Every structure is written in C-alpha cells, then in structure tokens.
Amino acid sequence: MNVRSVCSIALLVLLLPVVGRSQEKSESSQSSASTFGLRTGFSLDPDQFVLGGQVSMGKKLGIARVVPSVDVGLGNSLTTIAFNVDAQFRLNVEGSSAGLFLGAGPTLLYADPEGGNSAWELGLSLLAGIRLPFKSFPPTSFEARFGVGEIPDFKGIFILEI
C-alpha cells in the first residue's frame, strides 16, 4: 500500500465524524457530544513536522473521553502516518473548560522511508496536556505524547478545536 492510499484512507476516517457532526448540529440545538480538532507539532525520533486531526467523543461520560486521531509526519527522509485511539481523562477548573488531561492508547504507525521498505508498527502512547479556552478564539490544547514501542519517542502537539 503506497503513501497516497494510506493518506486517502486517513482523510476519509477524519472526515466521516465531521460530516456526522454537521448533520447533528443541524438536527439539534443542543451542544455536540463530540468536537473536532486540528493538530500540528513535531516529533522526536524520528524528527518530523506533524499535521493531523482528531475527534473528541464522550462529553456525556463526564471526565472520560475517547479521542481517535490521525497524524501525518514529514521529514527525516521518512513519511509516517499514526492512527491513535486514546482514552483521556480531563480534570477541568470549576466553572471553566480549562484544565489538564491525561491518557493512553494504542498507536498503529505506517512508516514509509524514501528508499522503500515501508512497514506497519504497533505501540502505546502515554499523554498529558493542558486545555485553554479563549473568549475570541476556539479552545486550544497543548499535548505531550510519549511513545512506547516502535513509534515516535515524543510528540509535542498544538490542538485547535473547531
């Protein structure tokens, strides 16, 4: 499977919840149980620039969320695509949507070096972050991901909720 096929599949996986969310908003005036976010940042080992998207689901579960995401890493003569499914636990400041979050989940990584020999790897991601609401700007999060196994050792991610 080439990189173009994997990127197309990743894009479809990310767009399906967005289409469902826009339909949900038009059918109901209640706040959505899921939010979509754009992700950008960097990874270490391999050293890459990272772009992606996520869907945070489970608002009605209280502090727990399920957050699937896809990250595309570029650089270091390598293209990576990480499929993550995280369980996150959020601790919000009372009366605000600001707070801290912790989580973990499996990561399936597709790595395609410039010279060939692409491979699929499985690992575990541990994460911690902070969520900051702004009055005139969508909520923003900063996330630190630590990889266990044959996945990037560290990712620093900026998330903009839309």
Q: How far apart are the C-alpha atoms of 153 and 143, rounded to whole Å?
A: 14
Summarised one tens digit per residue, pLDDT across range 118-149 is 999 999 999 999 999 888 888 899 999 999 99
Q: Is the peptide bond before 139 cis (omega within 30 degrees of 0)?
A: no
Question: What region, left, alpha or beta, does residue 40 occupy, with left being phi > 0 and alpha being psi -120 to 50 degrees?
Answer: beta
Convert the pLDDT of each residue in 37-82 to its tens digit.
999 999 999 999 999 999 999 877 888 999 999 999 999 999 999 9
Q: How far apart are CA 49 and CA 71, in angstroms?
A: 10
Find the farthest-apart pair of alpha carbons in the chain and give their distance in angstroms, rounded.
53
Question: Cα–Cα distance between 113 and 64 in angstroms, integer?
Answer: 36
Q: What is the pTM of this model?
A: 0.80
Res 25: pLDDT: 41
Q: Under CATH, what is the fold of the domain 3-161?
A: Porin (2.40.160)
